[in-house]
Amino acid sequence: MRQANTTKDSRTDWRKLATLPDDSIDTSDVPELDEAFFREAHLRLPKGKQLVSLRIDRDVLDWFKRQGKGYQSKINAVLRAYVRAQKR
């Protein structure tokens, strides 16, 4: 499980967390959400991604695929970092 739209890997042990019973998770620092919260809440959806056909050298694509699930998002993150570096 990964958080969407992030360029950093999570250090959370999601498998361990998923096996914990709900009542063993400390939520004392998280306020209860009441009806007032939901009356004022706004749904914010992430921007959609553009589907493209892109030619990438086979060895580069193979390297990203070997990184496992989410390799396309990793390629996007690398491209985003490049774009940001060029804007400076």
Instruction: Domain ranges for the chain, please list them.
Output: 14-87
How far apart CA 22 and CA 58 sit, in angstroms, is 45
| Residue 8 exposure: Cα atoms within 13 Å on the Cβ side | 3
pLDDT at 46: 79
Q: How high is the mean pLDDT of the chain?
A: 87
> What are the Cα distances from residue 21, in Å, to 18, 65, 80, 83?
8, 34, 38, 43
pLDDT at 1: 41
pLDDT at 86: 93
Say whether pLDDT at 3 is over 50: no
Q: How confident is the model at residue 17 (pLDDT cuts 50, 70, 90)?
A: confident
Q: How confident is the model at residue 45 (pLDDT cuts 50, 70, 90)?
A: confident
pLDDT at 60: 97
Largest separation between any pair of C-alpha atoms in the chain: 53
In degrees and rounded to multiples of 5, residue 10 shows phi and psi of: -75, 140
Q: How confident is the model at residue 88 (pLDDT cuts 50, 70, 90)?
A: confident
In b/e form, how buried is each residue of 36-52, taking b as 16+ CB within 10 angstroms? Answer: eeeeeeeeeeeeeeeee
